[in-house]
Structure 1
Amino acid sequence: MYELKTKETDDSVLDFIEQVEHPGKKQDAYWLLDIFTETTGYPAKMWGASIIGFGSYHYKYASGHEGDAPLVGFSPRKAKISLYFAPGEEQREALLKNLGKHTSGKGCVYINKVADIDADVLKALIRQSVKHLLETYPAGE
């Protein structure tokens, strides 16, 4: 049976951020920590070795695959900062048009630095992703 590698851990978010080598990325990680915490109302938790997640939900696909994941999150990776939002959320693409300089994949949005993006649009993306996932995967299902 498949086992998820990215699970919530008890590792320290602040210790993880302190280990970020690039000073600008470290500063951006602290800024994102504040924005995500303030916008979601959830405490930051480490998911796996490198994702800072906020809140969680349990998903189950038609294939039978199921697991837990953070509602939203980010990771200050070496190349770019990864922002994690709900894939398939209808308003996401419209919001991304106004986010600023980024690239995106299925569930990830990649930025070089927070100075490249609009904080209000980021907050809207966070709120919309959390709302979408809580409606799509209500607790107890």
Structure 2
Amino acid sequence: SYKVNTEDFMSTDITVLPRDAGFEDVLKVITASDDYEYPVVENAESGILVGTVGRSQLVHFLETHESQGPPDSGDKKALSAGTLSDTCSIEPVTFQLSTWTSLHQAHHLFELLNLQQAFVTKFGRIVGRVTRKEMRKTIEDLANSK
């Protein structure tokens, strides 16, 4: 388990939101997955992890903002415009793994801190996510291959 690193078993299929995400971006993300927490990055190009935002906040964001759709529907309620960072509380990421963190170290940290998931970064850029379930499967696979 010391030779297996997080990059060997992390999920790279993650959905991120840029700080300046608008209605359409948030709508696309929230309908594409049922995650309870989404990573927020500085911008789409940099991928620098700045925090997380909860699903409930994104739902509230959608309820209080309007789509930039056709302007001819004059019945629209007067909803506020704005971006994710303007109206949502972006929580700082207090814990993250490196791609070079060993499975043994990651497992120890998950147990010690009672984590369900952790984001994986490489030089500050988000590159994946590790869940307790993925880690358990990797440990079982290693144990069964002996």
TM-score (ref. length: structure 1): 0.25
Higher relative contact order (CA 8 A, sep 6+): 2
